[in-house]
Amino acid sequence: MKEIIVRSRAREDMLDITREIQDVIAAERWKKGAVLVFCAHTTAAVTINENADANVCRDMLHGLSRISPRLAEFLHDEGNSDAHIKSSLVGASEIIPVENGALSLGTWQGVWFCEFDGPRRRRVLVQWLGA
């Protein structure tokens, strides 16, 4: 198992980690199977989405905050229950097929770390699953 360190820059942020994952696959010489990308935190997530127009990320973070806003009636005293909900909606992990040592992503797909309660230093685990 390998680890990628991510440093988010705002309370809500998205960071493209596709290159970092591909670098791990190359360094480890993984060839055919799938790679598990796992976020080790409860107020962040990992997702796959467009990596061409940066406005997609802006719209996603805006849309997610509209879907899961900070509600006055939340009981958790850290005040970040909106982020815990976003984490479970978007999900802690993604699994991506790997062929010939490369991520089998669609044309517009990238792998994104999603921060919902930053800025913070975060850990993403990368685990190989052979075919």
Residue (91 or 119) nearer to a copy of itself, CB = 91
Residue 92, burial from CB neighbour count under 10 angstroms (0-12, 13-18, 19+):
middle
Among 90, 101, 120, 121, binds a copy of itself (CB under 8 A): 90
CB of residue 69 vs a copy of itself: minimum separation in angstroms?
A: 9
**Alpha carbon distance 14, 36 (integer Å):** 19
Q: What tokens does 64 get?
A: 């997610």
Contact mark string toward a copy of itself, 49..78, x via CB under 8 A:
xx--x-xx-xxx-xxx-xxx--x-xxxxxx
Question: Side chain identity at 14, as an amino acid letter?
Answer: M
Please tell me the distance from the alpha carbon of residue 72 to that of residue 80, in angstroms, as a whole number: 11
Candidates 4-12, 18-26, 83-91; binding stretch for a copy of itself (CB under 8 A): 83-91
Tokens read off for 72: 């006055």
Question: Considering the rule CB under 8 A, would residue 28 count as an interface residue with a copy of itself?
Answer: no
Q: Residue 96, Cβ neighbours under 10 Å: how many?
A: 18
Residues at the site binding a copy of itself, with contacts judged by CB under 8 A: 1, 33-34, 36, 38-42, 47-50, 53, 55-56, 58-60, 62-64, 66-68, 71, 73-78, 81-82, 84-85, 87-97, 99, 104-109, 123, 125, 127-131
